A and B are shown apart, each in its own frame.
Chain A
Amino acid sequence: MQADTVIARRRTADGRRRAFLIRLPSTVSHLPSTAWVGIALVVLLALVAAFASQIAPGNPFRSVAPPLQPPSTAHWLGSDDLGREVFSELVHGARVSLFVGLAVALTSTVVGIVIGGVAGFFGGWIDDALMRLTEFFQVLPRFFLAIIVTAFFGGNIVNIVLLLGFTFWTGTARLLRAQVLSLRAREFVVAARAVGVKELTILARHVFPNALPPVLVNGALQVGGAILTEAGLSFLGLGDRNQISWGYMLNNAQPFIRSAWWMSVFPGVALLITVVAVNLVGDGLNEAMNPRYSVASRRSPVVRSHPLISI
């Protein structure tokens, strides 16, 4: 049996259960082992975030210990200047980081898909204009923009997600545009057009489904950057004041850096593990389905040069 097949049992039309060999999508079987480490860590973090109230019951903003206690059996990771448990803050902080990371990646992927798709599909001056816009957003220093906007309008978490989502999309847009352009020249698209399928149907049924996987992987690669950016904003005191986040904890730790190392070490480790984990997943997926080999290189030169087919 090949490495990328698994046995599955399914009910056939006549009602009997039979064993089938199913080929996994090649991405899954080609995932490097580091990506599985990343996936395990992300799942663990997601569980911590989901069950934060069970793992560390009570409001993390509440003082439950004497201030600035070093790690002990009573308070595992010590307490901060206001007597809040670092462990409890850490567990609840996972929610903000994961939420921001995923929500920003999702938003930026949607924006990128719309802009890249429209540019690639319509071409011409629309393409030109959208690509100039993309270049513009690429040079825009988004962290500085985020600082100004959160300073003006307050850093509630929805603002931060929208702001980052609407500045992180440039890579996705460029990638999708390139994918659409290259797919549109492939034989099966040309064949579909030749038998009279409508352009929009071609786009929806033939081009998008093939163009999307690498774009989604690109979205996964945005998660780490988004988490770090939110942490940076919170560290500057511009994050959401109603939520415990790791950046906010590090901001609190800065004045006590001489006396209470535990206040800065643990939230930083948490951030590091999270970012490395999501980067491992993103890198692994990227490697497993490298679009340079899957789409662009298979583009047939015949189609492009044949005047009869490339209408």
Chain B
Amino acid sequence: MSRYILRRLIQAVPLLIGILIINFVLIHVAPGDPIYLLAGDAGDEKYYAAMRARFGLDQPLAMQLYLYLVNAAQGQFGYSYAYDRPVFEIIFARLPATLLLTGSALVLSTLVAVWLGVVAARRAHSAADHTIAVVTLLFYGMPAFWLGQLLVIVFAIWLDWFPVQGMTDVRHSYQGLEYASDVLRHLALPMTTLGLLHLALVTRLTRMGMREQLDEDYVRTAHAKGLPVARVVNYHALRNALLPVVTTVGTQIGTLFTGAVLTEIIFAWPGIGRLLYDATLARDYPLLMAIFLFVAVSVVVVNLVTDLTYAFLDPRVRFA
């Protein structure tokens, strides 16, 4: 197992370097002097001279790339125009809100999707199966931002069940449990938006996996020795059917981030997506690049974790 982990860790390194190189290239092909992308636009001449030296902007390109990588390794990615602070400080301040939204949506949609997939597989080609297929396909084809707008119109404006926007009620300053329930009420609609978009794939995969597993000999054996149906389905077959689901949930993290960005904008959720939107409006290029870098690295890390989880769950992988 440790050899497998080591191998996967080493494989992730070129991906990370590649992402940094893309960022470096973007800084240099972008319109304007690259110094502003690296050092913000609020400094004086002396500050710029120091930053030019730090990033070696008067040196050959290869040297600049080297310095960029060295600075990146030290966590130095530049300063935001709009906030005039190191970009990563700003991103990390927004991280909890995004993690709450994407995490809860991921958990909720995976649970619902697995349940739907099992129902669909057990009653294959029934009315329930077809309904599930059509409904999840519809959500799969919906743009995140439009689904969000619809939910706002129906559940926040017409029915007035949930707040329209934000993460907390600005008119009150709740504490403790009241604060938590306030956040939860604000979370309901964006979480549902993001969750519904991700139902389709996991539902399909679970259905496919369950159909295969339910045909296997060991399932028949379990039935034959008189185990309750629920135990055979939920314990024996589902465990094996879920293996491919783990991988898919992991690889969807990039799509999930994309959906989160658009969802956060609709609901004014104060996470990284909202930050990205504000950064595009303000043309805050250093912040934009840093968010790109952050998301790309997150995707690599999550993929790595997914692979390791998979290897842990399925011994065939780590000994292959």
* A interface residue numbers (CB < 8 A to B): 132, 135-136, 139-141, 143-145, 147-149, 151-153, 224, 228, 231-232, 235-238, 247, 250, 253-254, 257-258, 261, 264-265, 267-268, 271-272, 275-276, 279-280
The answer to whether B141 and A231 touch across the interface, beta carbons within 8 angstroms, is: no
The answer to whether B18 and A148 touch across the interface, beta carbons within 8 angstroms, is: no
Contact of B145 among A141, A232, A275 (CB under 8 A): A232
Q: Is the interface of A mostly helix, strand, loop or mixed?
A: helix
Contact of B296 among A141, A235, A267, A271 (CB under 8 A): A141
Complex interface residues of chain B between 4 and 40 (CB less than 8 A to chain A): 14-15, 18-19, 22, 26, 29-31
Contact of A250 among B141, B143, B157 (CB under 8 A): B143
A151-B280, A254-B266, A280-B137 given; name 7 further pairs at CB < 8 Å. A141-B295, A145-B22, A237-B281, A247-B143, A250-B146, A257-B149, A258-B157
User: CA separation between A279 and B201, bound complex, in Å?
Assistant: 13
Q: A232-B258, A271-B146 are in contact. Are A139 and B15 (CB under 8 A)?
A: yes
Which residue of B has the minimal Cβ distance to A264? B149
User: CA separation between A247 and B285, bound complex, in Å?
Assistant: 23
Interface: B262 (CB within 8 A): yes
Which residue of A has the minimal Cβ distance to B37? A152
User: CA separation between A232 and B140, bound complex, in Å?
Assistant: 14
User: CA separation between A151 and B284, bound complex, in Å?
Assistant: 10
The answer to whether A236 and B277 touch across the interface, beta carbons within 8 angstroms, is: yes
Interfacial chain A residues near B257, Cβ < 8 Å: 141, 144
Complex interface residues of chain B between 254 and 288 (CB less than 8 A to chain A): 254, 257-258, 261-262, 265-266, 276-277, 280-281, 283, 285, 288
Interface: B144 (CB within 8 A): yes
Count of interface residues, chain B, beta-carbon cutoff 8 Å: 47
User: CA separation between A135 and B15, bound complex, in Å?
Assistant: 8
The answer to whether A235 and B145 touch across the interface, beta carbons within 8 angstroms, is: yes
The answer to whether A231 and B143 touch across the interface, beta carbons within 8 angstroms, is: yes
The answer to whether B30 and A152 touch across the interface, beta carbons within 8 angstroms, is: yes
A-B contact pairs, 18 of them (CB 8 A): A136-B14, A143-B261, A144-B261, A144-B291, A144-B295, A145-B22, A147-B276, A151-B288, A232-B143, A235-B145, A250-B146, A250-B149, A254-B149, A265-B153, A268-B142, A268-B143, A279-B140, A279-B141
Interfacial chain B residues near A258, Cβ < 8 Å: 157, 164
Interface: B210 (CB within 8 A): no
Interfacial chain A residues near B291, Cβ < 8 Å: 144
B208 to chain A, nearest CB (A): 12
Q: A148-B292, A151-B280 are in contact. Are A139 and B153 (CB under 8 A)?
A: no
User: CA separation between A238 and B262, bound complex, in Å?
Assistant: 13
The answer to whether A276 and B258 touch across the interface, beta carbons within 8 angstroms, is: no
The answer to whether B262 and A235 touch across the interface, beta carbons within 8 angstroms, is: yes
The answer to whether A141 and B254 touch across the interface, beta carbons within 8 angstroms, is: yes
Contact of A140 among B19, B149, B283 (CB under 8 A): B19
Contact of A253 among B19, B144, B149, B277 (CB under 8 A): B149
User: CA separation between A140 and B300, bound complex, in Å?
Assistant: 9
Interfacial chain A residues near B114, Cβ < 8 Å: none
The answer to whether A236 and B152 touch across the interface, beta carbons within 8 angstroms, is: no
Interfacial chain A residues near B98, Cβ < 8 Å: none
Q: Is the interface of B mostly helix, strand, loop or mixed?
A: helix
Interface: B167 (CB within 8 A): no
Contact of A136 among B18, B30, B144, B266 (CB under 8 A): B18
CB-CB nearest 6 A-B residue pairs: A268-B146, A275-B141, A276-B141, A143-B258, A264-B149, A144-B292
User: CA separation between A279 and B133, bound complex, in Å?
Assistant: 13
User: CA separation between A148 and B37, bound complex, in Å?
Assistant: 13
The answer to whether A265 and B150 touch across the interface, beta carbons within 8 angstroms, is: yes
Interface: B289 (CB within 8 A): yes
The answer to whether A152 and B26 touch across the interface, beta carbons within 8 angstroms, is: yes
Q: A145-B292, A279-B141 are in contact. Are A268 and B150 (CB under 8 A)?
A: yes
Complex interface residues of chain B between 109 and 129 (CB less than 8 A to chain A): none
Which residue of B has the minimal Cβ distance to A265? B150
Q: A140-B22, A232-B262 are in contact. Are A272 and B145 (CB under 8 A)?
A: no
User: CA separation between A261 and B266, bound complex, in Å?
Assistant: 14
Interfacial chain B residues near A276, Cβ < 8 Å: 137-138, 141
User: CA separation between A303 and B64, bound complex, in Å?
Assistant: 53
Q: A147-B276, A236-B280 are in contact. Are A141 and B142 (CB under 8 A)?
A: no
Interface: B303 (CB within 8 A): yes
Interface: B222 (CB within 8 A): no
Complex interface residues of chain B between 173 and 231 (CB less than 8 A to chain A): none
A71 to chain B, nearest CB (A): 15
The answer to whether A264 and B150 touch across the interface, beta carbons within 8 angstroms, is: yes
User: CA separation between A86 and B94, bound complex, in Å?
Assistant: 37
Q: A140-B19, A254-B266 are in contact. Are A272 and B30 (CB under 8 A)?
A: no
Q: A147-B276, A232-B262 are in contact. Are A264 and B146 (CB under 8 A)?
A: yes
B33 to chain A, nearest CB (A): 14
The answer to whether A139 and B143 touch across the interface, beta carbons within 8 angstroms, is: no
Interface: B305 (CB within 8 A): no
The answer to whether A257 and B153 touch across the interface, beta carbons within 8 angstroms, is: yes
The answer to whether A237 and B280 touch across the interface, beta carbons within 8 angstroms, is: yes
